[in-house]
Every structure is written in structure tokens, then in C-alpha cells.
């Protein structure tokens, strides 16, 4: 095998397009130079349709968790009542962050592998007799491959409470539709290394005017992640309060160009096709999936590993075919593996990963599945060409 041919199907980080790598190689510029404000403004505004935001998107240097933390640190004051939808490891992380900032966190626990239904959230919110400051939810719960119905949940939040609605879109923004105003989202956060086709290191926070007002008045202590500093620096100088990750921002500019060239509607359709190909292919070889078609994310698919040989799929995919997939997290460790199909991913890539899974199953279990998943995925693809 050519050792430099490695195939990344983890649900983040994801492959980087060559032209994005080239863009990141541009000569360094000083962030207090004349050039930087033009670059930052270009990226912050071109990301607006991708985030469904009416305001420019704030860019932080940090991983996705820094954006989650920023959302919590700038809104939560000691003993605020906060609701978090916990449908997997990342909802759980959001809840832990809120607890760290002194909130009274009410966790709405959803079975891992299922999406939160609006009725579940409505009933839960109605059962809390106190004023709720914010409701946090995860758009794509990466640990289970579930896409929560963020629009419908937002309707419930605004019907039942006066709370802010804060959404973690780390593993799907750039691949799915979103409309902050229409869906009642006040803060939407994301990271660079998933559907946005960049290396890890940038975090994004989109805030509406209501959220900005709450953040302005929030008395909680914070420094590096104080969003007021970022908003003020952008407002006055189109800059950032601290040294930005300039090269990654150049990369983000190229990503915006790519999304515009393909057309964001087509990007969304491509991800729906990738999801259908993966799911239909795996169903054809009778591999159990963790989520229903209805709840499944277009960016990541969780596959059950039910018997001893199947638990070795992840290792064999890597050893024999240089394919990296994700494992299970927390209570799903050893129970599933996860295929990321987001960002710089095409139907041909899906054929590659499905073919490798077929061969791996043949190795492990002697199952005669060669060509079956691939054939089914090709049939799905042909319906769309």
C-alpha cells in the first residue's frame, strides 16, 4: 500500500481540500496590518448564510469546545436555571460546561441514538417551575449520528419560555440548512474541522441582537472568551482582541469560495445523498444502524457492532485499508463505530468506505457481502445523477 494514501472518515477532523491547504500557505500577515480587517470581514460576512445568521459570524482561535464554553460563559450567571438537551456525549459536555459556570442545570436526557422530540422538550420545560435563562441543544449529536429537530425545538423554547436558545452546530454547520431568525436560535456555535473542511483550530459563534444584549449585560467573569471584546474589536477595527489564527482564516475564506461555487443548496443536497448511500449500502449487507432514517444526520452515521468480530472492524479498516473511522464514545464505547461523511466528501468516497467494510466483514466473519453494499449505494447515487 502507498502509505501516504490514508482515508479519513472520522466524524472530525475531516479531509482538507488542496486549494484550502494552498490558501493557508499564503504569507503571514500581521493582524494589526491593513490587510487583516479585509480578510476577517470577508470571512465573517461570507459565513453568514452558512450559519443562517443576520449578523457577521465571530471567529475565535480555539477548538469547538471553546465556542461552547464562550456561549455558556457569556450568558450564565451563578445559579441561573439552564436546560440542556442531552442526547449523547456532546449534549453531556454542554451540560458539564454550564455546571462549571455555576448554573443549575436541568438535563433532559434522551435515549442515545434517538432525537429529542418537541413534545419531550415541551413537557420538560413545563415541569420546571422557575424562570429559565437558556436552553442548550446539539444540532448534530456526533456521538450517536442523530440530527435533532432544531427548528421544532426552537419553536417550543419560545412558546414555553423567555429563554435564549443556544445551539451546538459543531458537526454539521456547513452541511445542513439553518435559519437563526426563522428557527428562533439566539446563539449558534461551530468549529472548523468538520463540515467546514478546515484543520482544527477555529471556533465560530453567531449571535443575534437579543443574545448580544444578554451578553453585554452578563456579569459573569471571563477574559479570553469574553464575546464583548470580540464584538467591540470587530465593530471598531474589523479585528480580533487577541492574535487570530490568520492562516486558518485564509483557509476559511477559500472554504467560503468553495461553498459559493458549489452553491450552498447543492452542498446540503450532496450531504443528504451521502447519508442515503451510506445507510442504504449498510442496510443491504444487514449491518445494524444505531439511528432511524428519520433521526439520522447527513454528516455522520453510527453503526452497531453487535458481536465480537464486528468490534474489530475499526482496527481492520485502518490496518488493511488505511481507512479511519470513529469509535464509540462514553456509554457507546465498543458498541458502535462512526463513519463521518461531511465536508470534502463525495459519493466516490462513500463507495470507497463501503467497499472496505465489505472486505473487512469478509475477513472477519467470512460473510459473502462483496459488492453488495457498493451496488446498493451506486443505485442510490444513480437516482440522483
Ligand X SMILES: Cc1ncc(COP(=O)(O)O)c(C=O)c1O
How far apart are CB 232 and ligand X at their closest, in Å? Answer: 25
C-beta closer to ligand X: residue 83 or 147 = 147
How far apart are CB 90 and ligand X at their closest, in Å? Answer: 4
Count other C-beta atoms under 10 Å from residue 131's C-beta.
10
Residues 74-113 that bind ligand X (CB under 6 A): 90
The whole-angstrom separation of Cα 185 and Cα 191 is 17
Pick the stretch among 121-129, 144-152, 166-174, 238-246 that binds ligand X (CB under 6 A).
166-174
How far apart are CB 12 and ligand X at their closest, in Å? Answer: 5
Q: Name the 3-class secondary structure at 325.
A: strand
Interface size with ligand X, residues (CB under 6 A):
14
How far apart are CB 138 and ligand X at their closest, in Å? Answer: 5
Q: Is 171 in the site for ligand X (CB under 6 A)?
A: yes
Q: Is 64 in the site for ligand X (CB under 6 A)?
A: yes
How many residues appear in the chain?
A: 385
Find all residues with CB under 8 Å of 239, minimum gap 6, and list them. Answer: 31, 32, 36, 37, 40, 233
Q: 107 labelled as ligand-binding?
A: no
Q: Is 204 in the site for ligand X (CB under 6 A)?
A: no
Count other C-beta atoms under 10 Å from residue 378's C-beta.
17
DSSP character for 193?
S
Pick the stretch among 64-72, 76-84, 180-188, 253-261 that binds ligand X (CB under 6 A).
64-72
The answer to whether residues 237 and 18 touch, using CB atoms and an 8 Å cutoff, is no
Cis peptide before 302 (omega within 30 of 0): no
Q: Is 12 in the site for ligand X (CB under 6 A)?
A: yes
For residue 138, list its beta bridge partners. Answer: 168
Pick the stretch among 58-66, 157-165, 213-221, 312-320 that binds ligand X (CB under 6 A).
58-66
DSSP character for 361?
H
Q: Is 168 in the site for ligand X (CB under 6 A)?
A: yes
The whole-angstrom separation of Cα 315 and Cα 319 is 6
The answer to whether residues 51 and 157 touch, using CB atoms and an 8 Å cutoff, is no
Of 7, 45, 61, 65, which lies in the binding site for ligand X, with binding defined by CB under 6 A?
65
Of 138, 161, 184, 253, which lies in the binding site for ligand X, with binding defined by CB under 6 A?
138
Q: Is 191 in the site for ligand X (CB under 6 A)?
A: yes
The whole-angstrom separation of Cα 212 and Cα 74 is 9
C-beta closer to ligand X: residue 64 or 118 = 64
Q: Is 142 in the site for ligand X (CB under 6 A)?
A: yes
Residues 330/331/336/342 CA torsion (nearest 10 deg): -50
How far apart are CB 372 and ligand X at their closest, in Å? Answer: 31
C-beta closer to ligand X: residue 53 or 148 = 148
Using CB atoms within 10 Å of the CB of residue 197, give its burial: 0 to 12 exposed, 13 to 18 middle, 19+ buried.
Answer: buried
Question: Among all residues, whose Cβ is closest to ligand X?
Answer: 64
Of 170, 188, 290, 323, which lies in the binding site for ligand X, with binding defined by CB under 6 A?
170
Point out the annotated binding site for substrate.
338
Residues that bind ligand X (CB under 6 A): 12, 63-65, 68, 90, 138, 140, 142, 168, 170-171, 191, 200
Amino acid at each position: 500500500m502507498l502509505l501516504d494514501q490514508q482515508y479519513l472518515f472520522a466524524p472530525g477532523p475531516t479531509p482538507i481540500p488542496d486549494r484550502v491547504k494552498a490558501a493557508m500557505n499564503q504569507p503571514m500577515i500581521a493582524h494589526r496590518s491593513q490587510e487583516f480587517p479585509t480578510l476577517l470581514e470577508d470571512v465573517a460576512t461570507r459565513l453568514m448564510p452558512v450559519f443562517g445568521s443576520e449578523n457577521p459570524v465571530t471567529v475565535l482561535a480555539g477548538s469547538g469546545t471553546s465556542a461552547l464554553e464562550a456561549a455558556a460563559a457569556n450568558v450564565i450567571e451563578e445559579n441561573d436555571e439552564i436546560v440542556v438537551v442531552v442526547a449523547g456525549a456532546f449534549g453531556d459536555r454542554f451540560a458539564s460546561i454550564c455546571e462549571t459556570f455555576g448554573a443549575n442545570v436541568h438535563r433532559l436526557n434522551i435515549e442515545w441514538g434517538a432525537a429529542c422530540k418537541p413534545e419531550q422538550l415541551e413537557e420538560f420545560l413545563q415541569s420546571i417551575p422557575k424562570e429559565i435563562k437558556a436552553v442548550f441543544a446539539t444540532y448534530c449529536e456526533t456521538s450517536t449520528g442523530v440530527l435533532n429537530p432544531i427548528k421544532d425545538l426552537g419553536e417550543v423554547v419560545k412558546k414555553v419560555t423567555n429563554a435564549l436558545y443556544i445551539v451546538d452546530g459543531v458537526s454539521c454547520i456547513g452541511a445542513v440548512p439553518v435559519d437563526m431568525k426563522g428557527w428562533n436560535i439566539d446563539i449558534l456555535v461551530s468549529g472548523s474541522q468538520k463540515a467546514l473542511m478546515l484543520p482544527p483550530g477555529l471556533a465560530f459563534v453567531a449571535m443575534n441582537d437579543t443574545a448580544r444584549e444578554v451578553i453585554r449585560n452578563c456579569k459573569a467573569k471571563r477574559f479570553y472568551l469574553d464575546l464583548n471584546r470580540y464584538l467591540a474589536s470587530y465593530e471598531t477595527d474589523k479585528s480580533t482582541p487577541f492574535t487570530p489564527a490568520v492562516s486558518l482564516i485564509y483557509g476559511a475564506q477559500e472554504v467560503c469560495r468553495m461553498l459559493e461555487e458549489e452553491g450552498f443548496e447543492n452542498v446540503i443536497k450532496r450531504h443528504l445523498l451521502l447519508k442515503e448511500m451510506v445507510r442504504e449500502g449498510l442496510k443491504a449487507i444487514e449491518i445494524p444502524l444505531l439511528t432511524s432514517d428519520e433521526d439520522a444526520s447527513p454528516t455522520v452515521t453510527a453503526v452497531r457492532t453487535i458481536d465480537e468480530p464486528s468490534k474489530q472492524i475499526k482496527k481492520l479498516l485502518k490496518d488493511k485499508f488505511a481507512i479511519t473511522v470513529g469509535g464509540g464514545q462514553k456509554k457507546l464505547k465498543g458498541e458502535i463505530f462512526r463513519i463521518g461523511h461531511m465536508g470534502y466528501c463525495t459519493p466516490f468516497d462513500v463507495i470507497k468506505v463501503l467497499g472496505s467494510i465489505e472486505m473487512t466483514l469478509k475477513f472477519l466473519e467470512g460473510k459473502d457481502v462483496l459488492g453488495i453494499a457498493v451496488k446498493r449505494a451506486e443505485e442510490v447515487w444513480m437516482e440522483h445523477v
